[in-house]
């Protein structure tokens, strides 16, 4: 067991000892973690908190919003808007960016989040989570009419300065990177603080576990069908080993399993919506998860290119995702890019 280091102490040491993060970024990450604690409390209340069920509204994705989606979004906005560390926020649950109101001080950071990923699992008590990504506002033109716009958010994932997720499961666990590896913090509910429980996470380069929604098999492209078919053939097939399958349908939970024991997660393009590159969102799902996975020694592509190198053109654009154990992701990418 680690010497008991709180998230606050971990971030202070990153700031002072390593010079890794400036004070405003440390404040931002502490505020996001505090918001995740509040979301965790709302989630664990379940039916007792009258927070289950649909909000009878749709988000920009055309998906029915759950009450907890909206609660989580509001918690993150209210926690972060007054601190002076942000210029604006973007969320899966909001069509447009949220510019920090004039009455509050402004900062140089941009915060993006999926406030509650895995909503379809909320009402059935399966793990869900918050995903967040931090960018730095690039152009600082004080004369600009609009101090910040959606265009400021359209930066490739390789520009992130921090990324993380919080999974609300049997434990509430915050997983974070600021670019020098991945650390994991478990919420001590008695103390009300996140405590460092693992750092320097490393994803095994090989795995026997894949995560994909098999019900979409008939809709996949040939390279994905080939990869999954070879896994299903087991030790008698070309892979020479048996595979296991897991699919939680909460990206946060599936990625956390991979972060903890390896595996490969896939949400590829499929022909149900041929004009969309995939289901998952680039800016606040794929980019933060891709950076975390790479920081832990894994790989993350859209089947053809590194996710973190994709230059976004729209705030809510989607992307295919293949991420996890390096040698498996490389294989899937090879199948998409035959020589
Ligand atoms: P499907 C949750 O809605 C989500 O965005 C991801 O968390 C998850 O991996 C995926 O969608 C599940 O999608 O089509 O299997 O329900």
Per the CB < 8 A criterion, the answer to whether 292 and 182 are in contact is yes
For residue range 267-289, list pLDDT tens digits in order: 999 999 999 999 999 999 999 99
What is the overall mean pLDDT for the chain? 94
Please, are residues 328 and 208 in contact by the beta-carbon 8 Å criterion?
no
- Token pair 């654009």 is found at 317
In angstroms, rounded to a whole number, what is the distance separating the alpha carbons of residues 321 and 120? 19
**C-alpha span between 32 and 96 (Å, rounded):** 20
What is the best residue among 65, 117, 265 to mutate for testing ligand 1's pocket, by most ligand atoms within 8 Å of CB? Answer: 117
Q: So what's the pLDDT on residue 114?
A: 98
Q: Where are the domains of the chain?
A: 7-199, 209-336
Fold of 209-336: D-Maltodextrin-Binding Protein; domain 2 (3.40.190)
249 lines ligand 1 (CB under 6 A): yes
- pLDDT at 62 (0 to 100): 77
Q: What is the pLDDT of residues 144-189, one digit of tens each?
A: 667 899 999 999 999 999 999 999 999 999 999 999 999 999 999 9
- Cα–Cα distance for residue pair 287/175, rounded to 1 Å: 14
Looking at the domain covering 7-199, what would its CATH class be?
alpha beta
Pairing, β 264-267 against β 109-117: unpaired
15 ligand 1 Cβ < 6 A: no
Local confidence band at 29 (pLDDT 50, 70, 90 cut-offs) = very high
Q: How confident is the model at residue 111 (pLDDT cuts 50, 70, 90)?
A: very high
Mutating to test ligand 1, I would choose from 122, 167, 267, 283 the residue with most ligand atoms within 8 A of its C-beta, which is 267
Structure tokens at 109: 């950071």
Residue 266 in tokens: 């896939």
β pairing state of 264-267 and 209-211: parallel
Residue 36 has what pLDDT? 98
By three-state DSSP, how is residue 87 classified?
A: strand
Tell me the C-alpha distance between 79 and 3, whole Å.
29
Structure confidence at residue 154 (pLDDT)? 98
Neighbours of 335 (CB within 10 A): 18
Distance of CA 232 from the midpoint of ligand 1 (Å):
22
Closest alpha carbon to 290 in 159, 168, 169: 159
Q: Whose CA is nearest to atom 3 of ligand 1?
A: 118
115 Cα: distance to centroid of ligand 1 (angstroms):
14
**CA 109–ligand 1 middle distance (angstroms):** 28
For residue 2, pLDDT beyond 60: no
331, 266 in Cβ contact below 8 A?
no
Q: Does the pLDDT value for residue 14 go beyond 90?
A: yes
CA angle 182, 318, 299 (to 5 degrees): 35
Atom 16 of ligand 1, residue of closest alpha carbon: 249
């Amino acid at each position: 067991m680690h010497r008991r280091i709180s998230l606050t102490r971990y971030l202070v040491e990153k700031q002072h000892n390593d010079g890794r993060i400036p004070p405003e970024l440390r404040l931002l990450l502490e505020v996001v973690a505090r918001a995740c604690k509040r979301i965790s409390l709302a989630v664990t209340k379940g039916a007792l908190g009258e927070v289950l069920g649909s909000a009878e509204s749709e988000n920009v994705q055309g998906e029915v919003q759950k009450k907890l989606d909206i609660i989580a979004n509001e918690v993150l906005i209210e926690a972060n808007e007054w601190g002076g560390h942000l210029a604006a926020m973007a969320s899966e649950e909001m069509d447009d960016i949220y510019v920090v109101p004039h009455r509050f001080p402004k900062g140089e950071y941009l915060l993006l989040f999926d406030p509650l990923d895995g909503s379809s699992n909320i009402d059935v008590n399966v793990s869900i989570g918050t995903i967040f990504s931090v960018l730095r506002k690039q152009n600082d033109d004080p004369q600009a009419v609009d101090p910040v716009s959606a265009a400021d958010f359209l930066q490739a994932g390789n520009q992130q300065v921090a990324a993380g997720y919080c999974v609300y499961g049997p434990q509430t666990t915050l997983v974070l990177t600021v670019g020098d590896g991945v650390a994991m913090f478990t919420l001590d509910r008695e103390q009300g603080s996140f405590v460092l429980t693992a750092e320097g996470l490393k994803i095994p380069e090989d795995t026997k576990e894949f995560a994909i929604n098999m019900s979409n098999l008939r809709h996949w492209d040939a390279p994905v069908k080939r990869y999954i078919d070879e896994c299903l053939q087991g030790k008698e097939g070309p892979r020479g080993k048996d595979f296991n399958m897991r699919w939680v349908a909460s990206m946060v939970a599936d990625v956390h399993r991979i972060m903890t024991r390896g595996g490969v997660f896939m949400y590829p393009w499929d022909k149900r919506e041929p004009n969309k590159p995939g289901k998952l969102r680039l800016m606040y799902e794929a980019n933060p998860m891709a950076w975390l996975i790479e920081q832990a020694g894994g790989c993350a592509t859209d089947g053809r290119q590194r996710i973190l190198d994709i230059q976004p053109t729209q705030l809510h654009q989607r992307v295919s995702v293949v991420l996890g154990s390096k040698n498996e992701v490389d294989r899937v990418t090879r199948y998409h890019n035959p020589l």
